Structure 1
Amino acid sequence: MSAVCAALAGDPVLAAHYADFRAKAEGALDPALVALVRQAVAAVHGIDAAPVDESALDEGTKLCLAYARRMPFEHTAITDAEAAAVVTHLGEPGFVAFSVVTALADAECRAALVGLPELAAG
């Protein structure tokens, strides 16, 4: 359970809405890409130190992972051309889902790092 989900456990309605939102975003993408994005973002935060072996990945997936790694701390430096390349690979709906998945992975990592469930309980 993510730190965000744990923090929302005291509000079952909000927790259900969050879980549904997350599931819909993740469901719009290939599950393997979702797992890779979540792992890449966790590695950026130092939570998951194991780097992904990208040698067998297609160029589009590599592009997505590079973009995902920049989202937590370099999002303002991502260019329109970089975003357009991800849109070309995933399509516009896929890009939106990818952006949500990446942002939620970032938020969940940050919540884990600051002990959000403990903060929410206090």
Structure 2
Amino acid sequence: MSGPVIEALAGSPDLAARYAAFRDAAHDALGPELVEAVRGAVAEVHGAPVEHAPGVAPEAVLAFARRMVFEHTAITDEEAAAVASELGEPGLVALSVVAALADAECRARAIDLPGLASA
């Protein structure tokens, strides 16, 4: 998988590989269907039209992912506990990473980070 962050890191292959390994480990922890649902929820917050596959992710998980974009400091212990009860503690950590990186990818795309990096 590529994306604007990996593309922007093209001039630093070691850093790009480390970023990709970190991202892939978080993705592996959640599984491809849940990762796509989370990435879609985050993209939707950024204004991208997204089709939802029903039943792929519990609503508590998607709500958490959406809040990570602009309200991460307002996520309550109860919201985190609801996600942990769905995914377990390691899943909660992986979800946080996947949502944060999906947010970074959306923001990098919006400012054309690859173009800025190569300028």
Fold similarity call, TM over 0.5 = yes
Q: Deviations over 1:66-94 (max 9, x none)?
A: 11111111112211100111011111111
Q: Deviations over 1:28-55 (max 9, x none)?
A: 1121100100011011111x2124254x
Q: Any conservation in 1 of the 2:43–2:50 contact (CA below 8 Å)? A: no
Q: Deviations over 1:85-115 (max 9, x none)?
A: 1011111111111110110000010000011
Separation (CA, whole Å) in 2 of partners of 1:62 and 1:30? 17
For structure 1, list consecutive stretches of 5 or more residues without a partner in the other structure: none
Q: TM-score, normalised by structure 1?
A: 0.90
Q: Any conservation in 1 of the 2:41–2:65 contact (CA below 8 Å)? A: yes
In the TM superposition, structure 1's runs of 4+ consecutive aligned residues that sit over 3 Å from their partners are none
SS in 2 for 1:50: coil
Separation (CA, whole Å) in 2 of partners of 1:72 and 1:89? 20
Note if 1:33 corresponds to 2:34.
yes
Give % identity.
58
Matched length: 118
Note if 1:95 corresponds to 2:104.
no
Separation (CA, whole Å) in 1 of partners of 2:61 and 2:41? 10
Match of 1:50 in 2: 50
Separation (CA, whole Å) in 1 of partners of 2:67 and 2:51? 15
Q: Any conservation in 2 of the 1:3–1:112 contact (CA below 8 Å)? A: yes
